[in-house]
C-alpha cells in the first residue's frame, strides 16, 4: 500500500469512524461510507492538513471515491 493510500485511510478512519478494512480504492464516500456534506468537508480538510496541500472547491466536488483522492494527491505531490 502506498504512503498516500495509507494516509488517506488514516484520515477516513479518523473522520468517519469506519473500519480500515472497509476502505478500498473503489470505496465511494457517499454510497459506501454514508458521508454527508459535513463529513465530506471534514474529509477534504483532513486530506489538506495530512498532505500539506490545498484542494479547491471545484476539485473537491470531483472527489467521489478513495481512488479520486489518492490520484489527486499523487498528482499534486
| Cβ within 8 Å of residue 63, ≥6 positions away | 29, 44, 55, 69, 72
Of 22, 26, 32, 36, which is the active-site residue?
Answer: 36
Q: How far apart are CA 24 and CA 37, in angstroms?
A: 21
Q: How far apart are CA 41 and CA 63, in angstroms?
A: 11
36 in active site: yes
Could you give the residue numbers annotated as active site?
36
Amino acid at each position: 500500500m502506498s504512503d498516500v493510500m495509507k494516509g488517506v485511510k488514516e484520515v477516513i478512519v479518523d473522520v468517519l469512524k469506519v473500519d480500515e478494512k472497509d476502505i478500498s480504492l473503489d470505496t465511494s464516500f457517499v454510497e459506501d461510507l454514508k458521508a454527508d456534506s459535513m463529513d465530506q468537508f471534514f474529509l477534504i480538510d483532513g486530506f489538506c492538513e495530512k498532505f500539506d496541500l490545498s484542494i479547491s472547491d471545484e476539485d473537491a466536488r470531483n472527489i467521489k471515491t478513495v481512488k479520486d483522492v489518492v490520484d489527486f494527491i499523487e498528482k499534486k505531490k
